[in-house]
Structure 1
Amino acid sequence: MLDFFGVLIPFLLIHIICDFYLQPNQWGEEKKGYTYRSPALYLYSLLHGVALIVPAALLGIDWCSVIYLVVIVTLSHCAFGLWKVATKKANKSSCFVIDQALHVSILAVFAFYVTDGITMNAVLQHEKFSDGVLVVFAYLLILKPSSVVIGRLLRNYPIASSGSESDPNVSGLVAGGELIGYLERVLILTFTLVGSYAAVGFVLAAKSIFRFGELSKSNDRSMTEYVLIGSLVSVVITTLVGTLVSLGLGSDIK
């Protein structure tokens, strides 16, 4: 009997190897320059499809299903590859995330299809399903909703002007602070859920060291207070969410 993750993980391993290790940089340039006329596009697509024969054969999947898998994966990589090179004005990061999510979804659907004895009803009734939903909810909660709450709170504490010393030009990456906040909250929540509170302290200490170097060069006290308020609110929200979710998971286990 085949296990869902026992099928999905080898497929994902092949996808990662083909997409990030076996694909030459030259192929990417050729696909951008020649689009559908590029031989690299079809070699790249065929590589992904044919490579999946190896784990499929080792897992003993019937050849009819393997042929369907090779055809679907090859065509999907060709279609998504054309889509990426055709949307030149689109955000490259968004295209990359969408492209990878679609490929993983196709492999997950096929793994679900060939897995014996698994139905959607069985997945929904699994003892760990509610725990998984709770953890996903926690991660979603600490990202965009938390950013909105922190942003609204900081509006009540605007940075005061310091006369001629104030610089209207803000240096740094566009939306860099929001991304740093996302990463910080994801790390804190992850370490809280696994009970590694020492690692949480390490994250806070590392951020404080970098922030201290930045803020020590500024004579604007309001900027320092502004950054501290945002950081502490972010930590408080994430810690509370992580603690509540950990308690919920603990009660389910008992």
Structure 2
Amino acid sequence: MTLFIKLLLAHLIGDFVLQPNSWVLHKESHKIKSKYLYLHIVLHLVVTMVLLWDLSYWPIALIIITSHYIIDLAKLYTTKYFSYKNIPFFIDQLLHVLVLYACAYYGDLWEHTLSLSERIAWPLVAGVVFVSFPAAIIMGKLLERMSDQIELDHESLPNAGKYIGIIERLFVLLFIILGKWEAIGLLITAKSVFRFNDLKEKNNRKLTEYILIGTLLSFGIAIVTGLIYVYL
């Protein structure tokens, strides 16, 4: 575990802390000809070896920087094929972490992966998944007739309400699992404070009632899910 943590820390430092945005833009423009691509790889090698502080790990470091170069290069040339430019970024980071994991546990990779899978709390995973997008879809269906009577706010961010609901339900589920019911009250209070000014300015009773019903329904779904996980 210590080896993997060190490799992951080296990756985070090299990819985020010590890589200026100007390097990223230069790599996107010049791709394989960018000098910063190679400087970035060398920097990764230096940081990795410093954190490992053991020359016997040089084969692992060599594998990491070689794969890092190939993955980064692939991302630079394939990003144009994606409608959402953030998708290649997350794929890139996932591949990097998988390489680090494979290097850290190369001796018993299969056995270690199996042991990790056996320790996964699948009821918790199911609860987390449920309170995210499935719950958002269920709420959309339940509130569909009400939402048709509400004038849309074109100044709002697209799908902002859906993502706010998902995040708040995840927090509520976490608080219930930890037994921190008072934190749920603070979360409701904080949301009410942020919503108060908007509702006051619009003076729209239907919108106020719609938001109140949606909030109570969202918290209710998360609370019931949390109780089912804790007690059953």
With normalisation by structure 2, the TM-score equals 0.86
- Matched-pair contact (CA < 8 Å) for 1:185–1:235: yes
Q: 1:49/1:134 Cα in 2 relative to 1: closer, same or farther (>3 Å)?
A: farther
Name the CA distance, whole Å, in 2 between partners of 1:100 and 1:19: 9
- Superposed displacement of residue 117, structure 1: 11
Q: 1:151/1:84 Cα in 2 relative to 1: closer, same or farther (>3 Å)?
A: same
Establish whether residue 52 from structure 1 lines up as the match of residue 48 from structure 2: yes
**Counterpart in the other structure of 1:79:** 70
Name the CA distance, whole Å, in 1 between partners of 2:196 and 2:98: 43
**Counterpart in the other structure of 1:186:** 170
Name the CA distance, whole Å, in 2 between partners of 1:202 and 1:220: 25
**Counterpart in the other structure of 2:34:** 38
**Counterpart in the other structure of 1:91:** 84
Q: 1:47/1:122 Cα in 2 relative to 1: closer, same or farther (>3 Å)?
A: same
Q: For residues 61-72 of structure 1, what are the structure 2 equivalents within 5 Å?
A: 63=57, 66-67=58-59, 69-72=60-63
- Matched-pair contact (CA < 8 Å) for 1:159–1:222: no
Higher mean C-alpha deviation, range 92-101 or range 238-247: 92-101
**Counterpart in the other structure of 2:228:** 244
SS of 1:91's equivalent in the other structure is coil
**Counterpart in the other structure of 2:6:** 10
Name the CA distance, whole Å, in 2 between partners of 1:38 and 1:229: 54
Q: Tell me which of 168, 180, 197 is aligned to 1:213.
A: 197
**Counterpart in the other structure of 1:27:** 23
Q: Tell me which of 139, 154, 157 is aligned to 1:150.
A: 139
Q: 1:45/1:135 Cα in 2 relative to 1: closer, same or farther (>3 Å)?
A: farther
Q: 1:170/1:24 Cα in 2 relative to 1: closer, same or farther (>3 Å)?
A: closer
**Counterpart in the other structure of 1:133:** 122
Long gaps (5+) in structure 2: none
Name the CA distance, whole Å, in 2 between partners of 1:110 and 1:247: 40
- Matched-pair contact (CA < 8 Å) for 2:102–2:109: no
- Matched-pair contact (CA < 8 Å) for 1:189–1:242: yes
Establish whether residue 102 from structure 1 lines up as the match of residue 91 from structure 2: no
Q: Deviations over 1:10-64 (max 9, x none)?
A: 2211111111111122211210221111011122123224432334445x9x54x
Name the CA distance, whole Å, in 2 between partners of 1:235 and 1:72: 47
Q: 1:150/1:220 Cα in 2 relative to 1: closer, same or farther (>3 Å)?
A: same
SS of 2:6's equivalent in the other structure is helix
* Amino acid of the structure 1 residue aligned with 2:106: Y
* Amino acid of the structure 2 residue aligned with 1:156: R
* Amino acid of the structure 2 residue aligned with 1:234: S
**Counterpart in the other structure of 1:195:** 179
Long gaps (5+) in structure 1: 162-166, 249-254
Higher helix share: 2
Name the CA distance, whole Å, in 2 between partners of 1:92 and 1:202: 36
Q: 1:80/1:177 Cα in 2 relative to 1: closer, same or farther (>3 Å)?
A: farther
Establish whether residue 227 from structure 1 lines up as the match of residue 211 from structure 2: yes
Name the CA distance, whole Å, in 2 between partners of 1:174 and 1:116: 42
- Matched-pair contact (CA < 8 Å) for 2:4–2:100: yes
Q: 1:183/1:210 Cα in 2 relative to 1: closer, same or farther (>3 Å)?
A: same
> What percent of counterpart residues are identical?
32
Off by >6 Å, runs of 4+ in structure 1 = none
Higher mean C-alpha deviation, range 35-44 or range 167-176: 167-176
Higher mean C-alpha deviation, range 75-84 or range 222-231: 75-84
- Matched-pair contact (CA < 8 Å) for 1:215–1:224: yes
- Matched-pair contact (CA < 8 Å) for 1:31–1:40: yes
